Structure 1
Amino acid sequence: MGRPLVSIITVVYNALPTLEATIQSVIGQDKELTEYWIIDGGSTDGSIDLIRKYEDQLAGWCSEPDKGIYDAMNKGINRATGDWLYFIGGDDTLRPNIIRTIEPYLKADYSIVFGEIMFDNGHLYRSFLGPRTILQNTVHHQSAFYNSSLFKHYRYDDTIKIVSEYDLHLRVYTKNKLTYYMPLIIADCATGGASSELSRSLKETNQVRTRYVKNKLKNNFLSMFLNLYYMQKAIRYFLYGHRV
Structure 2
Amino acid sequence: MKNALISVITVVYNARPTLESTIQSVLCQDKNLVEYWIIDGGSTDGSIDLIRKYEHQLAGWCSEPDNGIYDAMNKGIDRANGKWIYFLGGDDTLRPNVLKQIEPYLDPKYSIVFGDVMFDNGHRMRSFLGPRTIFQNTVHHQSAFYNSSLFVNFRYDKSLTIVSEYDVHLRLYIQKAYTRYVSMIVADCATGGASSELSKSLTETNQVRARYIKNKWKNKLLSCFLRLYYIQKKIRYLIYGHRV
What TM-score does the superposition give when structure 2 sets the normalisation length?
0.99
| Whole-angstrom CA distance in 1 between matches of 2:132 and 2:162 | 19
Q: Residue 185 of structure 1 corresponds to which residue in structure 2?
A: 185
1:146 positional shift? 0.1
- After the TM superposition, list the runs of 4 or more consecutive aligned residues in structure 1 that deviate by more than 6 angstroms: none
Asked if 1:34 corresponds to 2:34, the answer is yes
Q: Does structure 1 retain, via aligned residues, the 8 Å contact 2:115–2:143? A: yes
Unaligned runs of 5+ in 2: none
Question: Could you say what secondary structure the match of 1:155 adopts?
Answer: coil
Q: Name 2:227's counterpart in structure 1.
A: 227
Aligned to 1:207: 207
In 1: Cα distance, 2:243 partner to 2:180 partner = 27
Q: Which amino acid in 2 is paired with 1:141?
A: H
- Shifted more, 62-71 versus 234-243: the winner is 234-243
Paired residue type of 1:80: A
Q: Structure 1: where are the runs of 5+ without partners?
A: none
Matches of residues 9-20 of structure 1 in structure 2 within 5 Å? Answer: 9-20=9-20
Kindly provide the amino acid, as one letter, of the partner of residue 185 in structure 2.
I
The aligned counterpart of 2:55 is: 55
Mapped contact 2:2–2:81 kept (Cα < 8 A): no
Counterpart residue number, 2:109 = 109
TM-score, normalising length: structure 1: 0.99
Report the counterpart of residue 163 of structure 2 in structure 1.
Answer: 163
The 8 Å contact of residues 112 and 180 in structure 2, kept in 1 or not, is answered as yes
- Residue 25 of structure 2 corresponds to residue 25 of structure 1: yes
For residues 183-226 of structure 1, the C-alpha deviation after alignment (integer angstroms, 9 at most, x for no partner) is 00000000011000010001100111000110011001000000
Q: Give yes or no for the alignment of 1:139 onto 2:139.
A: yes
How far is 1:2 from its partner? 4.8
What aligned pairs does 1:50-129 form with structure 2 within 5 A after superposition?
50-129=50-129
Deviation at 1:242, TM superposition (A): 2.4
Question: For each residue in 1:16-53, what CA deviation from the matched residue of structure 2 results, as whole angstroms up to 9, or x when unmatched?
Answer: 00000000000000110000000000000000000000
1:83 aligned partner, one-letter code: K
Aligned length: 244
Between the aligned partners of 1:7 and 1:168, the Cα distance in structure 2 is 18
Q: 1:239 maps to which residue?
A: 239
| 2:75 maps to amino acid | K
Distance 1:157 1:168 in 2: 10
Spell out, residue by residue over 1:60-118, the C-alpha distance to the aligned partner (whole angstroms, 9 max, x if none): 00000000000000000000000000000000000000001110000000000000000
Following superposition, the deviation at residue 238 of structure 1 comes to 1.3
Paired residue type of 1:44: T
Q: Percent sequence identity over matched residues?
A: 75
C-alpha root-mean-square deviation of aligned residues, in Å? Answer: 0.6
**Equivalent in the alignment of 1:172:** 172
Give the whole-Å Cα distance in 2 for the aligned partners of 1:191 and 1:236: 14
Q: Could you give the per-residue CA deviations for residues 96-149 of structure 1, whole angstroms, max 9, x where no partner exists?
A: 000011100000000000000000000000000000000000000000000000
